[in-house]
Amino acid sequence: MKILVCISNVPDTTTKITFTDNNTQFNNNGVQFILNPYDEIALARAIELTDGGNGTVTVINVGEATTEPTIRKALAIGATDAVRVNAKPHDAWYVAYQVAEYVKANPFDLILTGRESIDYNGSKVSGMIGELLDLPSVSIIKKLDIEGDKVTVEREIEGGKEVLTIPLPIVAGTAEGVAEPKIPNMRGIVSARTKPLNIIEPVEVKTFSEIISYETPAPRGHVKLVSADETAKLVDLLHEEARVI
Amino acid sequence: MSVLIYTENADGKFKKSTFEAVSYARAIADQNNTNLVAISIGEVSKDELTALGKYGAEKVLNVSNAKLKNFINQAYASVIAEAAKKQGADVIVLSNSFSGRGLAPRIAVKLEAGLADGAVSLPEQSNGKFTVKKTAFSGKAFAVVELTSANKVISLTPNSYKVVEKSVTSAVEDFAAEGNASDFKALIKEIVRSTDKVSLPDADIVVSGGRGLKGPENWGMVEELAELLGAALACSKPVSDSGWRPHSEHVGQTGIAVSPNLYIAIGISGAIQHLAGVSSSKVIVVINKDPEAPFFKVADYGIVGDAFEVVPKLIAAIKEYKASV
């Protein structure tokens, strides 16, 4: 079994998000970058599925050289090898196109992404890769099992779940529940330094979107405190003032 | 040129988020002085389809092919892209629901369209530029994205655009579409939908519990409060990580982002990752015994007190209010 896991390099979840240049650039000054938490779930499941010499896990990242610590982390967690497409990840279309081109030349049985990256939250890359390769894609899965050449996934739907069986290969975006993220051990960290990281150049592709600027949410006014004995007053405020009940 | 709206149904019924998306698509059609065409796939009654005219859809394409009864994103994307081409639609709108997220990227690739996912307001169109504001950094910010392609796909964040009634004369037409043979590899084995529960991403009111509730056995009062308000249940990450509640209820940066009218947080301190997922809630109420809890800084209303005392009193007050109206 050959599994490809697409990984993103994203600001740590504790990051306070700010912008520079008149709100046109993300301010990465002092920001710690991490392996996207949903991609960690994908990687963990890929490692479980190939456990005991039952296959390989390749991680692929579209990014500049600054993403290499994150790629090494994925190798330390247990990926077999890594590929970095040497380019700025312009948008989801650009990233999906690069990955799809790589897969055309290097076929995989299963392609995993996180359900979304925690920076742009698009949930787009898995579906786009699927469409570009004419493969089935499932965007947000909570469970993934493989039996023979078939994969069974559980996907979230509003107020419930749906179970699908699909012949491999497929593309899927993993969410919580698929696997517990793995913490690299000492042996992993040491071996990560010598595992293969192939750097390839991007293919040319048209782009269809540009980020023009950023905004931060409007600050809220001061909190109105109500005493614990005045819950009726809170209900009044929610009804009369806020008009939400 | 026209605008095409995919009207998602659940068990044959359109949901509020669908009407929001239709209203939103109508407004885009008005911006461009053009028509709004809706496409519905699956078993939906004629009455339900005709009712889309109330929100401004002049034409409703009905795809009732039995093969397409259940949602398969690959096949639905083929059908919607085909409809867009046949109708000459250059803007395609859908809801950024769980299914919408599986569908929009495939439609965008088929139509070589830029995709604005998770839009939160109407596009701005000036000097030939088409820009859309969308959520970014898991609710910590917004990004304004310019779509530079001729075709454009927009998926709308639920609860971010109000349903607007705008009655037009609406004609329902059958649209014969099959999808491609390679679109049907996925087989649906089981669909479990608990219709008695309010779905979290669409909910108008969300009641959320945190570690301050001390254990899963104490969720009874949270559930009672939610039921009284017709609210969906949610929780913080430590709660779902500890297995007290299912992951599907986890709201925050690595869980679900919600934008209800009212978010009630009980026993949640308000870590930055949790706040990211709730920042677009219209009104936030925080109940926490620690007056220094960071959640109070972003709340509209707060009660400093022990959840085990406050929540039963709040339940009583709401019962009283309900009895009075």
Q: Do residue B166 and residue B282 come from a single domain?
A: no
Nearest to B134 by CA among A91, A12, A211, A206: A211
Is this structure's pTM higher than 0.90?
yes
Q: What is the pLDDT of residues A224-245, one digit of tens each?
A: 999 999 999 999 999 999 999 9
- Please name the amino acid found at residue B214: K
Residues A38 and A44: beta-carbon distance below 8 Å: no
Q: Which candidate in B288, B300, B311 is best for mutational testing of the A interface (most A CBs within 10 A)? A: B300
The pair of three-digit structure tokens given for residue B167, joined into one six-digit string = 């009655």
Q: What is the pLDDT of residues B188-199, one digit of tens each?
A: 999 998 767 788
Q: What is the ipTM of this complex?
A: 0.96
Helix (H) or strand (E) holding B235: strand B232-235
Quickly count: other Cβ atoms within 10 Å of residue B171's Cβ.
12
Q: Do residue B147 and residue B263 come from a single domain?
A: no
Q: Do residue B161 and residue B101 come from a single domain?
A: yes
In the predicted structure, residue B16 carries a pLDDT above the cut 80? yes
d(CA B262, CA B314): 15
The answer to whether the CB atoms of B106 and A167 lie below 8 A apart is: no
Q: Do residue B205 and residue B168 come from a single domain?
A: no
Q: Given the DSSP bridges, would you call strands A110-114 and A81-86 parallel, antiparallel or unpaired?
A: unpaired
Angle between helices A37-49 and A68-77 (to 10 degrees): 40
The pair of three-digit structure tokens given for residue B54, joined into one six-digit string = 């109330």
**Which domain CATH number covers B233?**
3.40.50.1220
The pair of three-digit structure tokens given for residue A150, joined into one six-digit string = 């078939």
d(CA B207, CA B227): 9
Structural domain ending residue among the three candidates B154, B184, B214: B184
Nearest to A234 among B97, B190, B301 (CB): B301
Which string of DSSP letters, residue by residue, matches B13-46?
Answer: EE-HHHHHHHHHHHHHHHHTT-EEEEEEESS--H
Q: Is A218 on the interface with B (CB under 8 A)?
A: no
Nearest to B299 among A119, A223, A228 (CB): A223
CA distances from residue B280 to B99, B138, B240 in whole angstroms, order as listed: 22, 10, 22
A69-73, A218-222, B315-319: segment of lowest average pLDDT: A218-222
Helix (H) or strand (E) holding B243: none
The mean per-residue pLDDT over the stretch B179-187 comes to 95
Quickly count: other Cβ atoms within 10 Å of residue A49's Cβ.
20
Quickly count: other Cβ atoms within 10 Å of residue B126's Cβ.
7
Answer yes or no: is B192 within a domain. Answer: no
Q: Do residue B130 and residue B226 come from a single domain?
A: no
Structural domain ending residue among the three candidates B151, B184, B217: B184
The answer to whether the CB atoms of B105 and A229 lie below 8 A apart is: no
Give first-to-last CA distance, chain B, whole Å.
Answer: 49
Cβ-count burial A22-43 (b if 16+ within 10 Å, e if not): ebeebbeeebebbbbbbbbbbb
The mean per-residue pLDDT over the stretch B11-37 comes to 96
The answer to whether the CB atoms of A121 and B192 lie below 8 A apart is: no
Q: Is A176 on the interface with B (CB under 8 A)?
A: yes
Output B98 or B1, whichever has higher pLDDT. Answer: B98
Enumerate the H helices of B137-230 as residue ranges. 220-229
Residues whose CB falls within 8 Å of the CB of residue B320, separated by 6 or more in sequence, listed in order: A232, A235
Q: Do residue B175 and residue B216 come from a single domain?
A: no
Q: Is A38 on the interface with B (CB under 8 A)?
A: yes
Query: Binning pLDDT at 50, 70 and 90, where does residue A221 land?
Result: confident
Minimum Cα–Cα distance from A124: chain B residue = B105
Answer yes or no: is B272 within a domain. Answer: yes
Q: Is A193 on the interface with B (CB under 8 A)?
A: no
In chain A, what are the domains? 2-213 (3.40.50.620)
Minimum Cα–Cα distance from A116: chain B residue = B254
Residues whose CB falls within 8 Å of the CB of residue A77, separated by 6 or more in sequence, listed in order: A40, A43, A44, A47, A182, A183, A184, A188
d(CA A87, CA B191): 41
Residue range(s) defining the domain that contains residue B140? 2-184
In the predicted structure, residue A159 carries a pLDDT above the cut 90? no
The mean per-residue pLDDT over the stretch B269-276 comes to 95
A40 half-sphere exposure, CB direction, 13 A CA radius: 19
SS3 label, residue A26? strand
Q: Do residue B153 and residue B221 come from a single domain?
A: no
Q: Is B304 on the interface with A (CB under 8 A)?
A: yes
Chain A with chain B: Cβ pairs closer than 8 A: 286
Q: Given the DSSP bridges, would you call strands B262-266 and B283-288 parallel, antiparallel or unpaired?
A: parallel
Q: Is A168 on the interface with B (CB under 8 A)?
A: no
Structural domain ending residue among the three candidates B184, B213, B230: B184
The pair of three-digit structure tokens given for residue B132, joined into one six-digit string = 């859309």
The pLDDT assigned to B199 comes to 87
The mean per-residue pLDDT over the stretch A188-192 comes to 96
- Which residues of chain A have a CB within 8 Å of the CB of B286? 223
Answer yes or no: is B108 within a domain. Answer: yes
The mean per-residue pLDDT over the stretch B238-265 comes to 94
Nearest to B144 among A207, A213, A237 (CB): A213
| pLDDT > 90 fraction of chain B, expressed in percent and rounded | 93
The answer to whether the CB atoms of B101 and A127 lie below 8 A apart is: yes
The pLDDT assigned to B195 comes to 66
d(CA B98, CA B88): 27
Q: Do residue B207 and residue B249 come from a single domain?
A: yes
Residue-level length of chain B: 325
Residues B229 and B283: beta-carbon distance below 8 Å: no
Q: Do residue B159 and residue B131 come from a single domain?
A: yes
d(CA A14, CA A118): 11
Answer yes or no: is B191 within a domain. Answer: no
Answer yes or no: is B190 within a domain. Answer: no
Residue A128, phi then psi, degrees to nearest 5: -70, -40
The answer to whether the CB atoms of A11 and B137 lie below 8 A apart is: yes
d(CA B44, CA B113): 28
Residues whose CB falls within 8 Å of the CB of residue B324, separated by 6 or more in sequence, listed in order: none
Q: Is B323 on the interface with A (CB under 8 A)?
A: no
Q: Is A205 on the interface with B (CB under 8 A)?
A: no
Residue B296, burial from CB neighbour count under 10 angstroms (0-12, 13-18, 19+):
buried
| pLDDT > 90 fraction of chain A, expressed in percent and rounded | 96
The pLDDT assigned to A139 comes to 95
Q: Which candidate in A6, A10, A12, A13 is best for mutational testing of the B interface (most B CBs within 10 A)? A: A13
**Which domain CATH number covers B60?**
3.40.50.620
Residue A112, phi then psi, degrees to nearest 5: -115, 145
Q: Do residue B126 and residue B260 come from a single domain?
A: no
Q: Do residue B11 and residue B95 come from a single domain?
A: yes
d(CA B245, CA B237): 10
The answer to whether the CB atoms of B185 and A136 lie below 8 A apart is: yes
- Which residues of chain B have a CB within 8 Å of the CB of A238? 262, 283, 285, 301
The pair of three-digit structure tokens given for residue B207, joined into one six-digit string = 């009641």
B residues 219..238 contacting A (CB < 8 A) = 229
Residue A80, burial from CB neighbour count under 10 angstroms (0-12, 13-18, 19+):
middle
In Å, how far from its chain's centre is CA A102?
18
Nearest to B90 by CA among B45, B130, B51, B126: B130
The helices-and-strands tally (H runs, E runs) of chain B is 8, 18
Q: Is B143 on the interface with A (CB under 8 A)?
A: yes
Q: How many domains does chain B fold into?
A: 2
- Which residues of chain A have a CB within 8 Å of the CB of B306? 228
Dihedral over Cα of B96, B101, B105, B108: its sign: negative
Q: Look up tokens 């493969």; give the residue.
A: A135
- Residues paired with residue B39 on neighbouring β-strands, in sequence order: B6, B61
The pLDDT assigned to B198 comes to 83
Q: How close, in Å, is residue A61 to chain B by CA atoms? A: 19
B residues 36..55 contacting A (CB < 8 A) = none
Answer yes or no: is B195 within a domain. Answer: no
Q: What is the pLDDT of residues B96-111, one digit of tens each?
A: 999 999 999 999 999 9
Residues whose CB falls within 8 Å of the CB of residue B128, separated by 6 or more in sequence, listed in order: none
Q: Do residue B96 and residue B229 come from a single domain?
A: no
- Residues paired with residue B147 on neighbouring β-strands, in sequence order: A209
